[in-house]
Each structure stands twice: as C-alpha cells, then as structure tokens.
Structure 1
C-alpha cells in the first residue's frame, strides 16, 4: 500500500514540530532552575550583540575549592575536557587527578581544542575569577581558523563564550552553572545552528562533562 505523498511530506514537519515543542526546550536548560535561566550571566560584554546560549547546571557534593582545580586544568594539551574523549580529546583519556603543573591559568591563555586534523583551535581565557568563574571565548571563521576579536571580521564567523560559574551551596556543595553567549554571522546561519545543531550536540557533550567533573570532585571527599 502506497503512503500518500502529502502524508510523507508532512512527516518532516511533524518531526521538526515535536523537536521544537518537546525536545529542544529541555536540552537548552538541562538541570537548570527557572532562576538560573532568567538571571544575568557573566560575560555578556565579551560577545557583542550575542544571544544567551543554553543554560545547564548540576549540583556537586563538594565545595567550589575542590571543583575549581578540575576546570583550571582543562585543555587538549593539558587534562582534557572530561567529556566524550573520542570526540574532543583525540581518544586520549581525560585526567582523573589534579595536576599541579596545570593549575596556573591567566587571562589570555589559550586552552587547545582537538580536531580530527590535529589541535588547530583553542578557547581563549576571556574571563577569570579563580574559584568562581571561568569564561572561554571561541572566535573562528568557517574553516575553523582563529580570529582576532580586535581585528576586522569576515562575513561568516562563529563567536561564543562558554562559561563555568561556581556557586557555593550550604553543606559544602557547589552549583555548577554552564552558559554563555553566541553571535554567529550571518544571522540566518546562527538561527539554523542554534535551533537544529547546537542544542543536541552541546547537550551530549556537556552532560558527559558534568557527570565526570561531579564524579571526580566528589571522589576527593
């Protein structure tokens, strides 16, 4: 029995509608409270005219002073990213202990990101409040080449801030809130990326990172 072509044509629309209504809203605020989604987030000035990115959060049963060292040593050529290592660390396992030699971090430092062709990109440390906030800026063209935020930008570029906010909770616990800002250009490209691609990819990588940082920080107790 042949399915009418009109019904076949309607299936993608139904899938997009289901994603927009039931899936995407959960992905872009996974684990976060209404207050965490609505309240101002640090780093808005770092990405001019940027849109607020997804806001995700996790509670860690350890104080901020035990969570921060895991963030400070991130980077492909350092401790890794604690997410899916085959995808963002070249298959090399992320560190499972604190490395004192990687604890020094300063504004302007570049934390290398891995890509299949080699470590060709990096996150710039654009905001830093040790023990409280780490803001990593990514600015690149369509080919993944790093751009200077002070220089002229091409017509197509990706500009974003990936932020890690540590909030101390009673009982020596930490609320880790990850959010940021995005300003992809042209704007139609940002709309497509933000709607279809960014939420599921970011969710898959960020929840994995949450799980590993939480596990590692709590093991120190």
Structure 2
C-alpha cells in the first residue's frame, strides 16, 4: 500500500509540474516576451535583427516615454558600464555604482564597433553594431562559455564551441502625440550547445531580462521626464 501511495504522489506531482509548465509556456511567457509591445511592434523586423538570423530566443518590449526621440537618445547613447551605466538595477549590472542622472557631454559620442564594458575588468562588453542617431542603437554580445568572456567574431577565427550570441536593440519612433517617444527594445539570442542555451534562456535569461528591462524603462521615464 505504501508503494502505491508513493506512486500516486509521484504521478500527482508530475501532473502538477506539467500543468504549471504548460501554464507558464502558454500564458505567462508570451506576456513576458512582448510586454508593452503592440502586435505590429512585436512582429515587425527591426534593424539589427539580421545579426542573429536564426534566434533560439527573442523578445520585444516597449514603452512610451514623455520626451521626443532626440531627448531619449541623449540618455541611451551614454549607456555603458564604463560610461553612464544601464539605468536598471545598478547593484546587478553597474558594479553597485549609480547610473547617470544627468546628460554628460563626454558620453554623447558613440561609434559603430565601439566596446561598452559590462565588467569592471574589461573582460566582457557589448559592441555597438548598429548606430542611427535618434532612431536605432543595437548592441551585440558574444560570450565564450563557461568563462563569460567576450570575443569579437570577426577577429577570432573559429568561434568558441560553447558560446552565447545576442543583440539588444533600442528603436525610437515618435509617438502619435508628437511630443513623446515610443521605445521598442528587441532582443535576439542563440548559442551552442543549442539545447543547453534554450533551457538556460527560458529558465533564467528571459525572466532576468524582463526584470532588468522593466526597471530600465521606469528609470528612463523618470530621467527623460525631468529633462524634457
């Protein structure tokens, strides 16, 4: 009898786990991946998407900010771990230092190919992949696993066998009211080994990005609102 009860509990636990997983996959995950975005924004092709042609994971999140695109751009263009920060949870992604709360002239210059450090020792970084002032900023990340060190795909010959590649794109468009900005943030990622990266993305990468991106939206709204 005890064996029968144990088997029943295991079956019940498996059924509950399957139901929770299905509910997350069908109801929660799609909302996380498209938070704030319209259907058109979520399905539109943006500059930089072609960098990761076949993505294992992708998200499109959006918000409306109370300032015109050029005002929002001034905050985005100075992002970087060794610059103005990322305007998110600084204790997680800016070495505990507060992100900039002002427009700094020395950080208003950015160029394609430039590295924006994400670690204080310079071992990891984003590369500016697409730059169209006041309209598009796409940052590229190529990380070797398990070290987490960045590499430049064009200069390293064969890429590492275990790696994570992705983009983080910021796309600004004037809102319908003519005074605000629609900010659409697109991510696309892939990696090797593929199964491992897919599981890691669903379990950790996507929820972490959602939390950090929501925080960035909130902090950008505060900043552009005080300078608009």
- TM-score normalised to structure 2 length: 0.90
Residue 167, structure 1, aligned to residue 173, structure 2: yes
Aligned residues between the structures:
219
Residue 153, structure 1, aligned to residue 156, structure 2: no
The answer for the alignment partner of 1:42 in structure 2 is 47
Shift, 1:48, TM fit: 4.1
SS in 1 for 2:54: coil
> Larger radius of gyration, structure 1 or 2?
2
Assess if the C-alpha contact under 8 Å between 2:65 and 2:183 holds in 1: yes
C-alpha deviations, 1:101-149, integer Å up to 9, x for none? 011000111111137xx55210000110011000000001111111221
Q: Distance in 1 between matches of 2:124 and 2:160?
A: 17
CA 196–52 in structure 1, closer or farther in 2 if over 3 Å, else same: closer
Assess if the C-alpha contact under 8 Å between 2:57 and 2:190 holds in 1: no
Shift, 1:50, TM fit: 3.3
Assess if the C-alpha contact under 8 Å between 1:52 and 1:179 holds in 2: no
Q: 2:192 aligns with which of 178, 185, 201?
A: 185
Shift, 1:51, TM fit: 4.9
The answer for the alignment partner of 2:215 in structure 1 is 208
Residue 109, structure 1, aligned to residue 96, structure 2: no
How large is the RMSD of aligned CA atoms in angstroms?
1.8
Q: Distance in 2 between matches of 1:10 and 1:51?
A: 27
SS in 1 for 2:192: coil
Shift, 1:163, TM fit: 0.2
The answer for the alignment partner of 2:97 in structure 1 is 92
Shift, 1:168, TM fit: 1.0
Q: Distance in 2 between matches of 1:114 and 1:147?
A: 14
Shift, 1:159, TM fit: 0.6
Could you tell me which runs of 5 or more consecutive residues in structure 1 were left unpaired when the two chains were aligned.
none
CA 48–17 in structure 1, closer or farther in 2 if over 3 Å, else same: closer
CA 154–217 in structure 1, closer or farther in 2 if over 3 Å, else same: same
Q: Distance in 2 between matches of 1:204 and 1:183?
A: 20
Greater Cα shift, 12-21 or 156-165:
12-21
Greater Cα shift, 176-185 or 66-75:
176-185
Shift, 1:155, TM fit: 1.8
Could you tell me which runs of 5 or more consecutive residues in structure 2 were left unpaired when the two chains were aligned.
none
